[in-house]
């Protein structure tokens, strides 16, 4: 009789969680470990840098704490977009000035203004 491999994926569900008015995706894969005879689920959330297996009964606690984990990781991320209008000459001038300092236009403007 051939023994099963370490993991066998039973099902996979995908959800989203709302944190600071942004939707963050995560998915849960139900895994069954043959040698231990208990359920293990794999939790994957790229925004929270989580990709690991947990006992299935602990997933509820993880989902409850997920907004706090995401907030800590995204607190310094640049998520807002600001646009403004300028002439072609102004844009090329900004590009040249930013290139002199080896920066992007946005990082150059942020450094000069803040």
Q: Which residues of the chain have pLDDT under 70?
A: 1-10, 33-38, 76-79
Which residue is it, tokens 């040698």? Answer: 35
Task: Supply the range of the domain harboring residue 30.
Answer: 8-74
Helix (H, G, I), strand (E, B) or coil at 44: strand
Taking the whole predicted model, whether its pTM rises above 0.75 is answered as no
Alpha helices (runs of H) in 44-104, residue ranges in sequence order = 59-74, 88-100
Q: How far apart are CA 27 and CA 30, in angstroms?
A: 10
Return the pLDDT at 48. Answer: 87
Q: How far apart are CA 69 and CA 80, in angstroms?
A: 20
**Which DSSP symbol is given to 64?**
H
Return the pLDDT at 93. Answer: 95
Sheet holding 8-19, edge to edge: 8-19, 22-33, 38-45, 50-55
Residue 2 inside a domain? The answer is: no
Q: How far apart are CA 6 and CA 42, in angstroms?
A: 13
Is 44 in the same domain as 16?
yes
Is 61 in the same domain as 101?
no
Residue 1 inside a domain? The answer is: no
Is 65 in the same domain as 17?
yes
CA 54 to chain CA centroid, Å, is 19
Return the pLDDT at 51. Answer: 92
Is 15 in the same domain as 69?
yes
Domain tally for the chain?
Answer: 2
Is 15 in the same domain as 61?
yes
């Amino acid at each position: 009789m051939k023994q099963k491999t370490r993991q066998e994926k039973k099902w996979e569900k995908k959800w989203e969680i709302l944190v600071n008015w942004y939707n963050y995706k995560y998915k849960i894969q139900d895994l069954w470990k043959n040698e231990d005879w208990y359920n293990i689920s794999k939790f994957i959330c790229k925004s929270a840098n989580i990709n690991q297996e947990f006992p299935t009964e602990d997933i509820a606690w993880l989902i409850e704490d997920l907004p706090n984990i995401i907030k800590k990781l995204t607190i310094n991320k640049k998520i807002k977009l600001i646009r403004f209008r300028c002439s072609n000459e102004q844009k090329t001038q900004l590009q040249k000035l930013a290139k002199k300092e080896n920066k992007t236009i946005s990082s150059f403007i942020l450094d000069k203004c803040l």
